[in-house]
Amino acid sequence: MMFAAIAAIALAIGIVNALSGAQDAAWRGDSYDIGRRLFWELSSIIVILLLVPILMLSVRRMRRATGLAERIGVGAIALLGFSALHIAGMVGLRKVMLWLAGSAYDFHFSLATVLYEFRKDAVTALLIGATLWLIESRRELRKAAQEAQYTPAAPQEPSSPDLIWLRDGSSRIRVAPRDILWVTSAGNYIEYSLANGTQHLIRGTLAATETELAHFAIVRVHRTRLANLHRVSGVDFKPSGDFELTFDNGKTLGGSRRYRPAVASLGGRTAAL
């Protein structure tokens, strides 16, 4: 259905572009020639539709990326690949079809021509990619809702308040809050760093995690970090207002001035804001 919807929209746009181009040509005194213009549009649309799976894979890879730089890199590679394949496929298809019809096609290859096609490809890839992103978001929300509805509550242990379950899709990981050193935001994921050196990457938001872990003295110390104050053995307040926490296993974590009040009472002292 998704592919059919994209195909229908692309076909409609192609027909409108062909009709508009033909009408503009007629107004300039040139040949209306709607058939030729439809051929140009449809040959381009066919190749674009064949490349939709590549855009889908790129969108899914970008959604799994944990950093902005990685997402930009994936997007740039996908855009360049999409444009190159579209131009090559479109030109090849037109040459073959016109050769079969006893004619010929000249792309007039030049930097200006490539840049002209690339601009159009960039807009096309952005629109299709944004549509696929929204569809993937909706699919994931629907999947999460279904899992929440049908997943049995057996793993939950109300009698053990010192244990929590980290949920990621169908996976469940049980940890003790006292074993958590800090929690950091990583794009659409939350990374739990434990005292034994292990890390768990769970889909979620830092705001929701902060609310869930607040009663375990795991508080926000930075815009992207939470720290377990029960595991802090030392705190170094910097002249700039920032601070550095030292945990009982020797690990350290930086905090920002904005969240200094959260750790101001550590060691029985009050830090000046």
What would the DSSP string read from start to end of 75-90? HHHHHHHHHHHHHHHH
Task: Decide if pLDDT at 262 tops 50.
Answer: yes
Cα–Cα distance for residue pair 123/129, rounded to 1 Å:
10
- Check if the beta carbon of residue 80 is closer than 8 Å to that of residue 72: no
Which range (117-131, 146-160, 214-228) has the least confidence? 146-160
Question: Could you give the angle at which helices 34-64 and 2-27 cross, rounded to 10 degrees?
Answer: 140
Structure tokens at 84: 């190159």
Write down how long the chain is.
Answer: 273
How many C-alpha atoms does 92 have within 13 Å on its Cβ side?
A: 8
- Check if the beta carbon of residue 34 is closer than 8 Å to that of residue 20: no
Structure tokens at 69: 């730089």
- Check if the beta carbon of residue 222 is closer than 8 Å to that of residue 260: no
For 121, counting Cβ atoms within 10 Å of its Cβ (0-12 exposed, 13-18 middle, 19+ buried), the class is buried
Q: What CATH number matches the domain at 164-268, 2.60.40.10, 2.40.50.1020, 3.90.380.10, 1.10.10.10?
A: 2.40.50.1020
Cα–Cα distance for residue pair 89/253, rounded to 1 Å:
52
CA 113 to chain centre: 32
Q: How many helices and strands (H and E) does the chain possess?
A: 5, 10
82 closest CA partner among 53, 115, 41: 53
Q: What is the pLDDT of residue 87?
A: 92
Give the DSSP per-residue string, 43-74. HHHHHHHHHHHHHHHHHHHHHH--SHHHHHHH
CA 132 to chain centre: 11
Place of tokens 């244990």: 163
pLDDT digits (tens, 9 = 90+) for 77-107: 999 999 999 999 999 998 999 899 888 888 8
Q: What rounded mean pLDDT belongs to the chain?
A: 82
- Check if the beta carbon of residue 18 is closer than 8 Å to that of residue 37: yes
Cα–Cα distance for residue pair 28/33, rounded to 1 Å:
13
Q: What is the pLDDT of residue 146?
A: 67
Give mean pLDDT, residues 175-200. Answer: 88
Q: What is the pLDDT of residue 132?
A: 84
**Where exactly are the structural domains of the chain?**
2-150, 164-268
pLDDT digits (tens, 9 = 90+) for 5-22: 777 777 787 788 777 877
The structure's pTM equals: 0.50
Residue 168 confidence class, pLDDT cut points 50, 70, 90: low
